[in-house]
């Protein structure tokens, strides 16, 4: 199953340290670009977080935010550091002198600002929770990408059927177009009083058939369609391979147009290029 490069995840996990918030957003990109925004308590694990993310997602722009929303710890009035409290009071009074109409200072708010009320986080336990939660978040992001990829596959498969139909039309048109051209040559030779059984007529017809022969282009288009179908059911990232394959598709469609010996084949060549471009646009979002 192919995977889109577009995905999103947001989740919060309650822990004894507070709420662990993880947000992952992935977008289209030619390469793999990872941008991390980590909270102060999480930043120490940046290298491990990068390693886990890049092991799961191989292509796309990845924006990942992880931070800890701390719980409000209960106020412990028994544990008061007087020196710190006095320093905070002095600082707030100095700030108040710079304000025209300062509000009264709430002693409880000063206490909240002090180190007496700060929660001590056990880094070893936080690491364990983080490194077990992140893979689950990534898996849900991947599922979201795969769901979008499934929709893209349907669009591409429908376009493949359209190309197969156009190829079938071309195969039917070619013999008729060659026969019609043979009739035209015969008519010109008769009008010029040239023997229609002459070698010159045969040579003219042979040159025409050789120049307008699109058997090779048709065979290649059919081969490319088989390869595209094969890539669409692989589980590995195939976006870059598909992108290259579409260049080959476009090359054959252009050659088909340059060899066109009828208005119908010219029209088919144009339609092929339109469908190929539509597929290419879809492939730009495939991992």
pLDDT at 73 over 90: no
168/172 Cα distance (integer angstroms): 7
Could you tell me if residue 14 is inside a domain? yes
pTM over 0.75: no
Determine the Cα angle at 283 with ends 278 and 285, to 5°: 115
Determine contact, residues 3/260, Cβ cutoff 8 Å. Answer: no
For residue 219, what is the DSSP state?
H
Could you tell me if residue 39 is inside a domain? yes
Does 176 or 232 have the greater pLDDT score?
232
| 172 and 207 share one domain | yes
Could you tell me if residue 76 is inside a domain? no
| 59 and 48 share one domain | yes
| 176 and 253 share one domain | yes
The total domain count for the chain is: 3
| 93 and 48 share one domain | no
Does 220 or 263 have the greater pLDDT score?
220
For residue 286, what is the DSSP state?
B
For residue 4, what is the DSSP state?
B
* pLDDT number for residue 77: 47
pLDDT in tens, 113-169: 555 445 555 567 888 899 999 999 999 999 999 999 999 999 999 999 999 999 999
* pLDDT number for residue 81: 65
Write out the residue range of the structural domain in which residue 20 sits: 7-71+122-146
**pLDDT tier at 1, thresholds 50, 70, 90:** confident
Does 174 or 31 have the greater pLDDT score?
31
For residue 129, what is the DSSP state?
H
Taking phi over 0 as left and psi of -120 to 50 as alpha, with beta for the rest, 18 belongs to left
> Region 261-275: what's the mean pLDDT?
89
pLDDT at 270 over 80: yes
């Amino acid at each position: 199953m192919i995977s889109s490069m577009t995905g999103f995840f947001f989740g919060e996990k309650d822990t004894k340290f507070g709420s662990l918030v993880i947000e992952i957003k992935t977008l289209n990109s030619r390469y793999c670009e990872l941008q991390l925004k980590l909270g102060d308590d999480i930043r120490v694990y940046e290298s491990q977080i990068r390693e886990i993310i890049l092991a799961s997602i191989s292509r796309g722009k990845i924006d990942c935010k992880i931070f800890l929303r701390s719980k409000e710890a209960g106020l412990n009035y028994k544990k008061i550091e007087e020196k710190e409290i006095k320093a905070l009071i002095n600082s707030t009074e100095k700030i108040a002198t710079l304000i025209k109409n300062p509000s009264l200072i709430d002693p409880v708010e000063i206490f909240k600002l002090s180190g007496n009320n700060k929660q001590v986080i056990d880094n070893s336990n936080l690491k364990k929770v983080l490194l077990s939660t992140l893979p689950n978040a990534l898996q849900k992001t991947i599922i979201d990408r795969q769901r979008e990829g499934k929709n893209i596959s349907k669009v591409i498969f429908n376009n493949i059927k359209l190309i197969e139909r156009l190829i079938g039309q071309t195969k039917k048109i070619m013999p008729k177009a060659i026969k019609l051209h043979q009739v035209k040559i015969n008519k010109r030779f008769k009008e010029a009083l040239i023997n229609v059984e002459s070698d010159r007529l045969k040579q003219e017809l042979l040159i025409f058939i050789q120049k307008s022969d699109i058997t090779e282009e048709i065979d290649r288009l059919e081969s490319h369609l088989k390869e595209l179908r094969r890539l669409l059911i692989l589980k590995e990232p195939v976006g870059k391979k598909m992108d290259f394959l579409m260049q080959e598709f476009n090359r054959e469609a252009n050659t088909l147009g340059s060899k066109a010996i009828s208005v119908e084949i010219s029209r088919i060549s144009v339609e092929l290029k339109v469908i190929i471009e539509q597929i290419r646009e879809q492939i730009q979002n495939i991992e």
